[in-house]
Structure 1
């Protein structure tokens, strides 16, 4: 019975929390108009960061597991919620203006801090996010 419980815990992400390191995340609207942003997890789950006024920032705490994956813990602390991206757009045309933060470079190594900067281009179109600024871990 004990091996079955260990296998179940490993598959649900409850076991093995020691392979994770903290990551500070900041998101800044560098544009001249407000944007709205959401943290997107795997399996169609999201967390709303709300509207960011021009030059406004949001801070968050992530963790990075040994294989580079970024996550936050589920509110009950029982499982990791794997981060796919952050999407930003402007209402009422979310689909026509949505842009996203590319976390791919952060997943390739060990990081301690990530800074994302996004803005609506002055000519309109889709939100543009600069490449992540990364502070790497030793």
Structure 2
């Protein structure tokens, strides 16, 4: 009986530690610039309909006009995540979406993060814009750096 309790206690402790980020999980800086004339609102999307506002990107690519966010990457599978505010669990990043702030549903577009997950860069730069002819936000293929510029 004591042996069973010991095994259960060890399993609970291991499960509690599984969500925390490892100091060895590398960081990836994602920079989003707006190449269009209209401001873009961008959001990180996590599982279970959870999102986090990243703010607005106005025209231009400078740090004052763009968006920069740091996420972590699991070495084993390349999955991207940020820690929950309480620091207890990973929030796995599904996507980053950008759109015109006052017309989200009709203009939303996404950043292709597949290459980031497989390449494991240190920094990513991506340029997005709302087409002048209307429609959805279009984002260029991310540019990857393996040393922070």
TM norm structure 1: 0.88
Q: Which residue of 9, 13, 16 maps to 1:9?
A: 16
Contact 1:109 1:136 in 2 (8 A): no
The CA distance in 2 between the partners of 1:73 and 1:29, in whole Å, is 27
1:109 pairs with 2:114: no
1:41 pairs with 2:50: no
Contact 1:27 1:57 in 2 (8 A): yes
Q: Secondary structure at the match of 1:43?
A: coil
Q: Which residue of 124, 128, 131 maps to 1:118?
A: 128
1:19 to partner: Cα distance:
4.2
The CA distance in 2 between the partners of 1:10 and 1:108, in whole Å, is 26
Task: Report what 2:3 is aligned to.
Answer: none
1:103 to partner: Cα distance:
0.3
Contact 1:39 1:49 in 2 (8 A): yes
Which consecutive unaligned segments of at least 5 residues does structure 1 have?
Answer: none
Q: Which residue of 48, 62, 78 maps to 1:68?
A: 78
Task: Report what 2:141 is aligned to.
Answer: 131
Q: Which residue of 15, 30, 34 maps to 1:29?
A: 34
The CA distance in 2 between the partners of 1:108 and 1:26, in whole Å, is 18
May I ask how many residue pairs the two structures share in their alignment?
135
Mapping for residues 44-63 of structure 1, pairs under 5 Å: 44-55=49-60, 56-63=65-72
Tell me which protein shows more strand as a share of its residues.
1
User: Post-superposition, which runs of at least 4 consecutive aligned residues in structure 1 deviate over 4 A?
Assistant: none
**Bigger Rg, structure 1 or 2:** 2
TM norm structure 2: 0.82
